[in-house]
Amino acid sequence: MTRISRRSALAGGAALLAAPLFAGRAFAAQTDVVVIGAGAAGIAAARDLRAAGLDVTVIEAGPRVGGRVYTDTDTFGVPYDVGAHWLHTESQNPFVAYGRANGFDVYRAPDAELMYVGDRPATVEEQTAYSSAHAQANRAIERAGAAGQDVSPASVIPDLGAWEPTVNFLVGGYEMAKDLANFSCSDWYTGAGGGDAYCREGFGTLFAHSARGVDVSLNTAARAVRFGGTGVEVETDSGTITACAVVCTVSMGVLKAEKIVFDPPLPDDKQEAIQLLTMGHYNHVALQFKENFFGIGEDGYYSYKIDKSVDGVPHGFAALVDAAGTGITYCDLGGAFAKQMADAGKEAALDFTLSELTKAFGSKVRDALVKSSVTDWSNDPLTMGGYASAEPGGAWTRDAMRRPVDDRLWFAGEAMSEGMWATVAGAHMSGQAVAMQVRAALG
């Protein structure tokens, strides 16, 4: 079974995180650079800019650093990654080397996978049929992407028969956080592929360690960015900051929701890009079981034949079983159905997931359940979704978002990464790239 298969168009290795961390003032009314957001992109940009001798003020609307990479140890009593869990593209991921160099247990993700049909494992014939359908879908998207066809996968994939909803989810919602009608083949083609890794202590724990020493003004939201004069002003809940440049690292969802006002308005290409480089939806239904009844070991992948699809939207999930041996199984909803479940409420998402598992494994599901937790990044006001990808016709948008505005305003984040978008590593490298541009612009 092929789970992750986007083509890699990213050349060269990523810079490591081994450089020392630099502290600075948490809030200054006047500074060289304001960094909005303290996720992976914001922390990376701030660290590199301070290393170059610039005065940097970092503001974060939330109560902690990390954004969508955060490990909670209270809910289950063991590390639980509320957001990002996979260290994607191990060979190019700077957090892999950083974690290992700093005593974290970072290990290669196993490849074991299990496909169920109803209440039993798939037969050899069923597995063959599924694998064939999955391969057909990937080949069709790859051909279109390589040819520069900025169209949806749904428009190029042949009829996959009974396995269509399953492939739609695993290629679309589970990988891209969108269904096959809602992202671009050209954009998909630029994504880096490769093996994944996990951190036993939690990816969020590892990230927080890497962010040590970068002072951040928490609970400080940017409300407006004014860049029409000789400098830049950032209006926040705590006052106005004057600077020479701004690095904005908020999510595309926050930009699209116009949580920050730009004065003057952003250039037309930026505004159009914000409408087309949209957030997908991806949420965990995390279940802690006192026994592993799946028939696959820890960190194995469980998926099942999805039979229900409404208007091209499959109703199903896939799971990472017994993550790092903690007893936590991440049952992940993706795409439009994930948004529907989020809007219906966390109990609805939990009930759906338990019901689907009960169809496969019977009463042992609820008997073995210890505790549960459901995320809702879709409606989180600081994210407004999971991660970004281009809508059909929008493959040009990442380039547009990477271009600075008047050498005073830059955007960075996973959506602006070249190749490693939708990843924490991609956000980190985007922050580093922008820091280099800012240093050059400020002399």
Using CB atoms within 10 A of its CB, is residue 53 exposed (0-12), middle (13-18) or buried (19+)?
Answer: exposed
pLDDT confidence of 344, banded at 50, 70, 90? Answer: very high
Q: Please report, for the chain, the start and end positions of each structural domain, with discontinuous segments joined by +.
A: 33-64+218-278+391-442, 110-194+282-374
Confidence at residue 27, expressed as pLDDT on a 0 to 100 scale: 58
Region of poorest pLDDT, from 8-17, 79-88, 351-360: 8-17
Question: Does pLDDT of 393 surpass 80?
Answer: yes
pLDDT exceeds 70 at position 144? yes
Give the model confidence (pLDDT) of 26-67 as tens digits: 456 899 999 999 999 999 999 999 999 999 999 999 999 999
Query: Residue 23 — pLDDT band, cuts 50, 70, 90?
Result: very low
pLDDT of residue 29: 82
Mean pLDDT of 257-273: 98
Lowest mean pLDDT among 8-12, 104-108, 234-238, 287-291: 8-12
pLDDT over threshold 50, residue 10: no
Strand 33-36 relative to strand 245-248, pairing: parallel
- The 10s digit of each residue's pLDDT in 276-316 is 999 999 999 999 999 999 999 999 999 999 999 999 999 99
| CATH of the domain spanning 110-194+282-374, picked from 3.10.450.50, 3.40.630.30, 3.90.660.10, 3.40.50.150 | 3.90.660.10
Model confidence at 187: pLDDT above 50? yes
DSSP collapsed to 3 states, the chain: CCCCCCCCCCCCCCCCCCCCCCCCCCCCCECCEEEECCCHHHHHHHHHHHHCCCCEEEECCCCCCCCCCCEECCCCCCCEECCCCCECCHHHCHHHHHHHHCCCCEEECCCCEEEEECCEECCHHHHHHHHHHHHHHHHHHHHHHHCCCCCCHHHCCCCCHHHHHHHHHHHHHHHHCCCCCCCCHHHHHCCCCCCCEEECCCHHHHHHHHCCCCCCECCCCEEEEECCCCCEEEEECCEEEEECEEEECCCHHHHHCCCCEEECCCCHHHHHHHHHEEECCEEEEEEEECCCCCCCCCCEEEEECCCCEECCEECCCEEEECHHHCCEEEEEEECHHHHHHHHHCHHHHHHHHHHHHHHHHCCHHHHHEEEEEECCCCCCCCCCCCCEEECCCCCCHHHHHHCCECCCEEECCHHHCCCCCCCHHHHHHHHHHHHHHHHHHHC
Burial class (CB in 10 A: 0-12, 13-18, 19+), 427: buried
Higher local confidence (pLDDT), 99 or 230: 99
CA distance 170 to 415: 21
Say what the pTM is.
0.93
Position 17 scores a pLDDT of 44
Q: Which two tokens stand for residue 62?
A: 């939330």
Nearest to 119 by CA among 428, 367, 359, 410: 359
Q: What is the mean pLDDT of residues 171-192?
A: 97
Q: Identify the CATH homologous superfamily for domain 33-64+218-278+391-442.
A: FAD/NAD(P)-binding domain (3.50.50.60)
- Kindly report, residue by residue over 403-422, the tens digit of the pLDDT: 999 999 999 999 999 999 99
Q: What is the CA radius of gyration of the chain?
A: 22
Confidence class of residue 443 from pLDDT cuts 50, 70 and 90? Answer: confident
Q: Which residue has the tokens 């034949």?
A: 305
Q: pLDDT class for 171, splitting at 50, 70, 90?
A: very high
pLDDT (average), residues 98-113 = 97
Tell me: pLDDT of 343 over 90: yes
Tell me if domain 33-64+218-278+391-442 and domain 110-194+282-374 are identical in fold: no
Residue 349 pLDDT greater than 90, yes or no: yes
- Asked if pLDDT for residue 21 goes beyond 50, the answer is no
**Taking residues 429-437, what's their average pLDDT?**
98
**180's tokens:** 């096959």
d(CA 187, CA 152): 10
The reported pLDDT for the residue numbered 239 is: 95
Per-residue model confidence (pLDDT) at position 304: 98
Q: How confident is the model at residue 229 (pLDDT cuts 50, 70, 90)?
A: confident
**Mean pLDDT in residue range 314-337:** 98
Read off the tokens for 334: 């993706």
Average pLDDT over residues 101-113: 97
Average pLDDT over the chain, rounded to an integer: 93
